[in-house]
Structure 1
């Protein structure tokens, strides 16, 4: 802004100098003629000096008016104001876009985590179908072991039956170790309260000691895979006493 005022002042001073120069030359030549012709050069010189002084006295006001007009008419103020407004608008838009970007990033990360959990879950329960097929094998082994009388399991009278029982027992133990390694666990609900989520009631029965709703008979044990029931236990439940 000061540069604009300085340029306006310099221009006005140049115009004033250009206006005063002819008067000075006329004064000079008039003085020379007067000296030559014998007229009064002092009065004319005084008149020229008074005109120059009057012009100089009027100069500050004219310079100020010219400077104010140059500042008022200059388009830089409006341009700067418009640029500031545009900068504020762009900053607001940038803030909105940044907020949208952060929200989209958070949502993408959430979806990625859900996908990772789903993949881990699928890996965890990928053997569910295979495990169900092996449960029948466990049931058969249990029936085979239970069919051998207690006295024959350790008796040397029938060594072949004893060896067969020991071999089946070892196979059953190893199979259960593999089940436990992969999160497959067998549950025997005998004497526990009936739970419809993991038990399948086949019938009701009387029991002289246990409370109603207690599992008093187990036909087939249940299994869970990583705490998820994959086969409910088939049980008989103590019935409620008639009122």
Structure 2
């Protein structure tokens, strides 16, 4: 055996400052870790506060949306009701005006011993009343003159006859038409000159 192998091994010396150094080296790591966790917690708290604010804003906007939707629905319903009432009662004024004409006709028929002159006079008065009602309600007669050019928007040709006037002009009016405002209710029935 060699001399080196026979020499007793000396115990390793422990440096008494070593644990303190090791502990001192780990303390800043824990403090840094705690500080990082604290900052993360604070960041999460801020995010939670923002999330609660966003939820509150979302609830507020949802309420506003629902109210606006309800108001729009109510406005649409009111408009639909107004349109339905306008359609239903739009003729009311015209009908009320016609009541006077109906009364005049009833009064004329109630006279049993009326002369032809009285009947003619009453008929003319009733026709005048009717014309007045038509004017008030913008109902206009379409009565083209003989020789006027045929207008398919206002006239309806019943027949075409040979005539000494220009083709497609009115020869005779069989029945006058009527329009309300710019809309034709009934075209005038006419006879037109045939092309030669």
TM-score range, shorter chain: 0.5 to 0.7
**Aligned match of 1:198:** 154
Take 2:175 and 2:128, find their aligned partners in 1: how far apart are those partners?
18
Q: Does 1:116 align with 2:82?
A: yes
Change over 3 Å in CA distance of 1:203–1:161 after alignment to 2: same
> Is the 1:125–1:225 Cα contact (8 Å) retained in structure 2?
no
Change over 3 Å in CA distance of 1:92–1:217 after alignment to 2: farther
> Is the 1:193–1:213 Cα contact (8 Å) retained in structure 2?
yes
Q: By percentage of residues, which structure has more helix?
A: 1
1:140-179 maps to which residues of 2 (within 5 A)? 164-179=119-134
Take 1:101 and 1:86, find their aligned partners in 2: how far apart are those partners?
24
Q: Which has the larger radius of gyration?
A: 1
State the Cα distance separating 1:65 from its structure 2 match: 6.8
How many equivalent residue pairs?
154
**Aligned match of 2:175:** 220
- C-alpha root-mean-square deviation of aligned residues, in Å? 4.5
> Is the 1:202–1:234 Cα contact (8 Å) retained in structure 2?
yes
Q: Does 1:186 align with 2:141?
A: yes
Give a deviation string over 1:110-159, Cα, whole Å, max 9, x none.
Answer: 6654553453244324689x7xxxxxx9xxxxxxxxxxxxxxxxxxxxxx
State the Cα distance separating 1:218 from its structure 2 match: 0.7
Q: Which moved more, 1:232-241 or 1:98-107?
A: 98-107
Name the TM-score, length of structure 1 as normaliser: 0.44
**Aligned match of 1:76:** 41
